[in-house]
Amino acid sequence: MNEPILSSGVSRRAFLGLSGGAAAGLALAACGGGKSASDAAGGAGAAPTTSFSGTYSGPAVTLSYWNGFTGGDGPFMTKMVQEFMKENPNITIKANTVQWAQYYQRMPAAVTAGKGPDVGVMHLDQLATNAARKVIVPVDDVAKAIGLEESDFTKQVWEAGIYQNARYGIPLDVHSLAMFYNTDDMKKAGLDKPPTDAASYMAALDKFKAAGMDQPFWMPTRWPDHLMFLSLLWQNGGEPYSADGTKATFDSDAGIKALTWMADIVNKGYSPKNLGPDTEYVAFKNKKYPLHWNGIWQINDLKSSGVPFALAPIPQIGDRPAAWANSHNFYVTRQATQDDNKLQASKVFIDWISKKSAEWAGAGMVPARKSVRETEAVKNSIQGPIAEQIDNLHFLPPIPGVGDVQAQTLEIAVSDGITGKRPPAQALKEEAAKASQLMEANKKKFGAS
């Protein structure tokens, strides 16, 4: 996943062209029918299915499988799909891999036309939107059939896949914000371990400066600044949105503290001002500064860059440990529920990939399943420190349309606060008011389907 993913599940580079198209695509699917996976598997009018055994013994079937793994994670998924077909020769997986931006534009309309995926992967924060539009169907029965239990997942990632009391996603992984650090620069500054809290972080920055690194922590003014802000907001005890999805609350005292800290990094000279897109990431790869916050999906790209690095959880700047995270979740579309063989084959595929998620960890992700996450292979991986902190990871609430709302408001407020276009408190207050209006409109729009 070399190309970063915004809160709405798309790359920053592609986002500017997404919002209108995505809304149009979702509108096409707005009030479509389709049985739930449960109804299709054994409800009225459907042929009863046999109990799930982990294998598929029906006639040869082809599953359309959509995903957006076009970066460094792509080869890992391709390999896993090929291995699956070798072990399950009567199931052919026809993969369609496209950039996430195009993915979320095309998928809803394709499902409506019967030409979309039977099974696929999407970001957790897209589930509620597509569930509200009836593009995807509840998968509680799938989770039950393949033996998934809440005890094998953290509470946060398990509950984040539930919308209106139904499960719409089967978690595959967790990918979060982390702190990358240049190990050579750490030695030069006399630091034997990464900073873990506000005091040690600021002390480390001063040690880097004393060692000749005048600007040791470059603060982005776009991606992933809003992910940093959300992390610090949660660390200060705040929430970005109300639980009922009607109001933005990121302008709270916790939000002001978070954005003020970020702006102060620039104002106090620890970071250059007004950085352009990707400037801070490219600079870290080129050994220009020692501390960098980004997503763990950058691990493989950094490995190939030659920069000597390790990673750790982002430091606890606020009152409690917390970091933004997202998750790739498997889903089943209403298209698949029209064919019981496809539905059963989809269960086998999801079950197989889920159990092999230690292999998927090679893509830089943290397996969602505790039973896989606690294997030695994952514990000893470079993202092992993040896996150990999984209980501190936070996800956006399951609110339909929240990704687009956030891109139009919160992300702008954070950028303006860092660059000084508006004081942090003013930027957050003004954009939260706009976000609340958009959320009220979305509640009516999505609730009307």
Residue 126 · residue 26 · CB < 8 Å: no
Domains with residue ranges and CATH for the chain: 12-172+327-373 (3.40.190.10), 177-323+400-447 (3.40.190.10)
Instruction: Note the pLDDT of residue 271.
Output: 98
Say which range, 27-36, 79-88, 432-441, has the weakest mean pLDDT: 27-36
Q: How would residue 58 be classed by pLDDT, with cut points 50, 70 and 90?
A: very high
Q: Is the pLDDT of residue 7 over 90?
A: no
pLDDT in tens, 153-191: 998 899 989 999 999 999 999 999 999 999 999 999 999
Instruction: Note the pLDDT of residue 51.
Output: 56
Instruction: Note the pLDDT of residue 30.
Output: 30
pLDDT in tens, 290-300: 999 999 999 99
pLDDT in tens, 81-123: 999 999 999 999 999 999 998 999 999 999 999 999 999 999 9
Q: How many CB atoms lie within 10 A of CB 187?
A: 12
Measured CA to CA, the distance from residue 321 to residue 326 in angstroms comes to: 17
**Which residue, among 369, 366, 338, has the nearest Cα to 351 in the 3D structure?**
369
Strand intervals (E) in 113-164: 119-123, 162-163
Bridging pattern class, strands 173-182 and 366-367: antiparallel
Instruction: Note the pLDDT of residue 427.
Output: 98
The percentage of the chain sitting over the pLDDT mark of 70, rounded to a whole number, equals 88
The whole-number average pLDDT for the span 349-358 is 92
Instruction: Note the pLDDT of residue 52.
Output: 63
CB environment 193-207: b (16+ within 10 A), e (fewer): ebbbeeeebbebbeb
- Angle (CA) 393 396 397, round 5°: 120
Helices (H), 55-147: 74-87, 100-112, 127-132, 140-145
The whole-number average pLDDT for the span 366-374 is 92
Instruction: Note the pLDDT of residue 145.
Output: 85
Q: How would residue 15 be classed by pLDDT, with cut points 50, 70 and 90?
A: very low
What's the whole-number average pLDDT of the chain? 88
pLDDT in tens, 314-339: 999 999 999 999 999 999 998 898 89
pLDDT in tens, 244-276: 899 999 999 999 999 999 999 999 999 999 999
Tokens standing for residue 282: 């490219």
Task: Provide φ and ψ at 229, rounded to 5°.
Answer: -60, -45
Q: How would residue 207 be classed by pLDDT, with cut points 50, 70 and 90?
A: very high
378: DSSP letter: H
Q: How would residue 215 be classed by pLDDT, with cut points 50, 70 and 90?
A: very high
The whole-number average pLDDT for the span 229-247 is 96
- Angle (CA) 238 241 246, round 5°: 145
**Which residue, among 5, 398, 391, has the nearest Cα to 169 in the 3D structure?**
398
317: DSSP letter: -
Q: Is the pLDDT of residue 18 over 50?
A: no
Residues 6+ apart with CB under 8 A from 192: 186
191: DSSP letter: -
The whole-number average pLDDT for the span 393-397 is 93
Residues 6+ apart with CB under 8 A from 286: 307
Q: Is the pLDDT of residue 413 over 80?
A: yes
Instruction: Find residue 197's DSSP bridge partners.
Output: 316
The whole-number average pLDDT for the span 273-286 is 95
**Which residue, among 2, 37, 417, 435, has the nearest Cα to 228 in the 3D structure?**
417
